[in-house]
Amino acid sequence: MTYDEMMKRYAVLMAKNKPLSAKDEDELNNLCDVMDLALDDQPGR
């Protein structure tokens, strides 16, 4: 999954009605974790 795909998926999850289902909540948490790691890999941070 590319970073762009993750961002799109993140946007979809954020646009969903709250509260999210447990499955969506897990996916969102995983995306956040992965994106945090991806950001840490960016130079200059």
At 5-37, the pLDDT tens digits run: 988 999 999 999 889 999 999 999 999 888 787
Number of domains in the chain: 1
Residue 32 belongs to some domain of the structure: yes
Q: What is the pLDDT of residue 44?
A: 61
> Is residue 45, in this structure, part of any structural domain at all?
no
Cβ(38)–Cβ(3) under 8 Å? yes
pLDDT computed for residue 8 by the predictor: 93
Say whether the peptide bond before residue 43 is cis (omega within 30 degrees of 0). Answer: no
pTM to 2 decimals?
Answer: 0.67
Distance of CA 36 to the CA centre of its chain: 9
The answer to whether the CB of 20 falls within 8 A of the CB of 13 is yes
| Structural domain boundaries enclosing 28 | 3-40
For the purposes of burial, counting CB atoms within 10 Å of the CB of 22, is it exposed (0-12), middle (13-18) or buried (19 or more)? exposed
Q: What pLDDT is recorded for position 9? A: 93
Is the residue at 20 inside a domain? yes
